[in-house]
Amino acid sequence: MDLMDTAYDSADTLPADSPAPFDVPDGGSTVAVRGQLLWFRDDPFLVPVEHAMRYEKDGLLVCAGGKIRYCGPYGDAEGHLTADAVLVDHRDKIITPGFVDAHVHYTQTAMIGAYGEKLIEWLKKHVYPEEMKFSDRSYAAEIAHLFCDELLRSGTTTALVFCTTHPQSVDVLFDEADRRGMRIAAGKVLMDRNAPEALLDTSVERAYEQSRELIERRHRAPGTRGVYAVTPRFALACTREMLQAAGDLWTSAEGLLMHTHVSENPDEVYQVRGLFPERSGYLDVYRHYGLLGPRAVLAHGVHLTAEELDTCSGTGAAIAHCPTSNLFLGSGLFRLRDAKNPGRPVKVALGTDVGGGTAFSPLSTMNEAYKVAALGNHPLDAARMFYLATKGGATALGMDGLIGSLEAGHEADFTVLDPKATPLLARRTENGTGIVDVLFALAILGGDQAVAETYVAGRRAYRRDTGPAPRPKRTRTLAWSRYDWESDTWLPDRPTPAIGWRAPAIDAYAGALHCVYNSGSDVLHWTTFDGTEWSAPADLGFKAGPTPGVAAYGAKLYCGFVHDARLRMTAYDGEAGEWGSPQRITAAPETGFPPALAAYHGLLHVFLRDRRTEGRIHWASYDAEQDRWSEWRPLWHVASFDPVAAAPFAGRLYVMYSPGREGGEEQDLKWTSYDSETGTWDGHRVLAGTAGTARPSLTPYNGLLYACGNQWVGSELHAWTARLGPDVPEWSTPQRNTRIHPYSGYGLSMAAYNGLLYTAYFTA
Ligand code: GUN
Ligand code: ZN
């Protein structure tokens, strides 16, 4: 099965409006955690471990107001413990500062572990198609939620994160982190060459403006812990002008980070030399555009020369060492010992680089760092590994003094590690020869199961024994609304007995309004409305990924849906009162996206996005009398994964679709119509004011053609409607509809029934 399809179809997380999954230890504002405290005051690569590392065998952390107020022996804590303090006993566990993941791509969470390629091919084949999906804000929000869950499960409390070029991919991540109180650094990716156009910034100016706007809203925003990172993807994906803009952005506000990739893979290094022959090497490209210095974090650096490491040291730029990724993508072995040469040390942190990396866990990352160092003929001890994942990470991000330490005054982000997490670990650590040996066993055998609890700003945000913080439910109530002619408005939302998610599909057939929808566990359900009541939902038993499409045609109600990347068709026969068994339409292009169905001129027309051509729309028609399909024909090359809408009106077949984004910008919906007499489509026109609509719906009603959809405007989701007359070739201005409240960008469905106009959608 293709990963693009499964990633989209099987996501079982939630939209942006989910409640904060905080678990505040019972009531009191002061939390005191007793356990074995382990942290670093200094860099053990530069000073003896005994000086750098602190270990308090029976220690206590007292936290209030998000900060650590006391860190020291439990026996000396009197006077620091207020009467309202909640005491948590972890004497058998090791408490370290929360881990810092200094390089990770949240947008690659759903495609982690993609088979078979090295860097450049892997980007083209696996990464860029996945990142294109982040034009859909609700998809981005789902993944941001899953990503933050994974960080906390792994004991990571701060991460420096790649988003995509889409500004909303940055917003939803900061929203999610803010809800959890996490200190996250992230930014919009800048890239304007050598990738699919749909993913590129359309112009340097626009990319600059979008970044500035995000910096103004998100960087050190009051009440949040967010920090903005200027994020040119890497030299291969950026023109000189874009790198110059990145340099300008980086100095445009205090405390910004700069985050990019460098010298990861030999082919990449070679190609960068070809693109920038005027520069002395890969790192010199970044130096030239002012992209090196303190708070610059360069991922990988596997193939940096000795002189380039000197430059990193001299400028204060940090390297995020990403061993699971370097091994998985066959990139090479990072020379940690060279980088940490005490004569000219480079700041080094650990990065998971998910999805090139294969685990979110910093413990698993240490495990691979050890092996990479061993292949370079030096053993990397546990003290140094834990330093890299805590204070080393904080230092790389310019956040030492804030995070990465347990000392009083630091922010209360910490991780509780369980040396008895598994029977094997328990046996191994029982024989431990000291704290450094126990830490080593945790690094080599631990992984995320060794994380018992994770605290963010003094609150427990993850607890292994109760699993991840409770997930808000993914299913929503199916709601409906009716258009009221007299008042020219829609009636307020009303619920049905059905629950499900994504978008429902409705059409009138045989005296009832029928609704087919995804139950929330990717099975189709069905409910009907008789003008008064909705029927009890029935499970149709058909597995289906995204939203289905329905249309009455001939004597039946047809339903198209996608499962295993293939279009399937079934039909409800009102006379027999049954659904036929689904047929797999093998000639249809592979897809992961909802079909649109419309009856027109005696045929059933079906429109689909082909995922192999970056979302090109294909169509075919079905003749029920002959039981025959036409050929599947490509319609337009538009790089978008958003669904299509289709409806007959005034003797023509209308189609409306999102053209996706152009560079960083959401585009307005486009529409066109088909005349079966001449067999021609007319030109594509824009429905202005609909940018950000993922899924429109079209239906003829009362002599007009109606369109509706929902669009993100900033962080708000608006429903809108517009209409078109038979003689007027223009749509009315889309009207915001405040009566109906679809919960996500998956959209609504509209149909005329019984002389009235209805819409259905999932609501909160
Ligand atoms: N270089 C440019 N983009 C990427 C990416 O997404 N992952 C990795 N590992 N390297 C890159
Ligand atoms: Zn990366």
Q: What is the DSSP string of 543-588?
A: E--S--EEEEETTEEEEEEEETTEEEEEEEETTTTEEPPPEE-TTS
Radius of gyration of the chain from its Cα atoms, rounded to whole angstroms: 28
| Residue to mutate, 242, 264, 303, ligand 1, most ligand atoms under 8 Å from C-beta | 264
CA of 341 to the centre of ligand 2 (A): 24
Does the C-beta of 233 come closer than 6 Å to ligand 1? yes
Main-chain phi, psi angles of 693, to 5 degrees: -85, 125
| Domain contains 71 | yes
CA of 126 to the centre of ligand 1 (A): 11
The pLDDT of residue 641 is: 67
On whether both 384 and 413 belong to a single domain, the answer is no
Which letter does DSSP use for residue 127 in this model?
Answer: I
Atom of ligand 1 nearest to the CA of 268: 1
On whether both 85 and 148 belong to a single domain, the answer is no
The CATH number that applies at residue 120 is 3.20.20.140
- DSSP string over 356-408: TSS-S-HHHHHHHHHHHHHHTT----HHHHHHHHTHHHHHHTT-BTTBS--ST
Does the C-beta of 105 come closer than 6 Å to ligand 1? yes
* Contacts of 659 by beta carbon, 8 Å cutoff, 6+ apart: 638, 639, 640, 667, 669, 670
The pLDDT of residue 637 is: 65
Strand-pairing partners, residue 506, are: 515
In terms of residue numbers, what domain contains 167?
99-298+352-397
The pLDDT of residue 487 is: 81
Q: Whose CA is nearest to atom 3 of ligand 1?
A: 233
CA of 351 to the centre of ligand 2 (A): 9
On whether both 123 and 146 belong to a single domain, the answer is yes
What CA–CA distance (Å, rounded) separates 362 from 160? 13
Residue 149 tokens, joined: 């869950």
| Residue to mutate, 193, 233, 238, ligand 1, most ligand atoms under 8 Å from C-beta | 233
| Domain contains 245 | yes
Ligand nearest to the CA of 302: 1
What CA–CA distance (Å, rounded) separates 295 from 251? 11
| Residue to mutate, 109, 112, 123, 169, ligand 1, most ligand atoms under 8 Å from C-beta | 123
- Looking up tokens 């990716």 gives 189
Atom of ligand 1 nearest to the CA of 353: 9
Does the C-beta of 356 come closer than 6 Å to ligand 1? yes
Closest to 140 in 3D by CA, of 285, 322, 14, 258: 14
On whether both 570 and 648 belong to a single domain, the answer is yes
Cβ contact 131:164 at 8 Å: yes
Does residue 279 sit in helix, strand or coil?
A: coil
CA of 244 to the centre of ligand 1 (A): 20
Ligand nearest to the CA of 324: 1
| Domain contains 90 | yes
Which amino acid is located at 663 in the chain? G
Closest to 388 in 3D by CA, of 412, 408, 410, 372: 372
Does the C-beta of 353 come closer than 6 Å to ligand 1? yes
CA of 260 to the centre of ligand 1 (A): 9
On whether both 79 and 126 belong to a single domain, the answer is no
The pLDDT of residue 5 is: 25
Cβ contact 334:323 at 8 Å: yes
Q: Whose CA is nearest to atom 7 of ligand 1?
A: 356
What CA–CA distance (Å, rounded) separates 516 from 12? 19
Cβ contact 121:647 at 8 Å: no
Does the C-beta of 325 come closer than 6 Å to ligand 1? yes
Residue 627 tokens, joined: 């039981």
Q: How many helices (H) and strands (E) does the chain have?
A: 18, 45
The CATH number that applies at residue 586 is 2.120.10.80
The pLDDT of residue 247 is: 97
Does the C-beta of 127 come closer than 6 Å to ligand 1? yes
Atom of ligand 1 nearest to the CA of 264: 10
The pLDDT of residue 664 is: 56
Domain boundary among 468, 492, 518: 468
User: Which segments of the chain have a pLDDT < 50?
Assistant: 1-28, 470-473
- DSSP string over 439-468: HHHHHHHTGGGGEEEEEETTEEEEEGGG-S
On whether both 71 and 157 belong to a single domain, the answer is no
Does residue 184 sit in helix, strand or coil?
A: strand
| Domain contains 687 | yes
The pLDDT of residue 19 is: 30
Atom of ligand 1 nearest to the CA of 331: 9
Does the C-beta of 234 come closer than 6 Å to ligand 1? yes
**Mode of pairing for the β-strands spanning 603-610 and 616-623:** antiparallel
The pLDDT of residue 23 is: 35
Q: Whose CA is nearest to atom 11 of ligand 1?
A: 261
On whether both 106 and 215 belong to a single domain, the answer is yes
CA of 233 to the centre of ligand 2 (A): 8
Main-chain phi, psi angles of 26, to 5 degrees: -10, 90
Cβ contact 286:262 at 8 Å: yes
The pLDDT of residue 2 is: 27
* CA of residue 411 relative to chain centroid, distance: 26
Which letter does DSSP use for residue 310 in this model?
Answer: H
Does the C-beta of 126 come closer than 6 Å to ligand 1? no
Does the C-beta of 303 come closer than 6 Å to ligand 1? no
What CA–CA distance (Å, rounded) separates 604 from 528? 22
Cβ contact 185:158 at 8 Å: yes
On whether both 114 and 65 belong to a single domain, the answer is no
CA of 596 to the centre of ligand 1 (A): 36
CA of 123 to the centre of ligand 1 (A): 7
The CATH number that applies at residue 414 is 2.30.40.10
| Domain contains 381 | yes
- Full-prediction pTM beyond 0.85? no
The pLDDT of residue 714 is: 65
Helical packing angle, 382-389 and 362-375, nearest 10°: 130
On whether both 609 and 664 belong to a single domain, the answer is yes
Please report how many Cα atoms fall inside a 13 Å half-sphere around the Cα of residue 501, on the Cβ side.
22
Closest to 110 in 3D by CA, of 255, 4, 218: 4
| Residue to mutate, 200, 234, 319, ligand 1, most ligand atoms under 8 Å from C-beta | 234
Closest to 705 in 3D by CA, of 683, 738, 730, 674: 730
| Residue to mutate, 105, 298, 302, 319, ligand 1, most ligand atoms under 8 Å from C-beta | 105
The pLDDT of residue 18 is: 31
Q: How many domains does the chain have?
A: 3
CA of 397 to the centre of ligand 2 (A): 16
CA of 218 to the centre of ligand 1 (A): 24
Domain boundary among 468, 486, 520: 468
| Domain contains 325 | no
| Domain contains 377 | yes
Residue 363 tokens, joined: 């413990």
Q: Whose CA is nearest to atom 9 of ligand 1?
A: 356
CA of 72 to the centre of ligand 2 (A): 38
Ligand nearest to the CA of 271: 1
Does the C-beta of 225 come closer than 6 Å to ligand 1? no
Domain boundary among 424, 439, 468: 468
What CA–CA distance (Å, rounded) separates 467 from 551? 43
On whether both 240 and 112 belong to a single domain, the answer is yes
CA of 519 to the centre of ligand 1 (A): 36
CA of 142 to the centre of ligand 2 (A): 21
CA of 68 to the centre of ligand 2 (A): 32
On whether both 410 and 390 belong to a single domain, the answer is no
| Domain contains 279 | yes
On whether both 694 and 738 belong to a single domain, the answer is yes
Atom of ligand 1 nearest to the CA of 234: 2
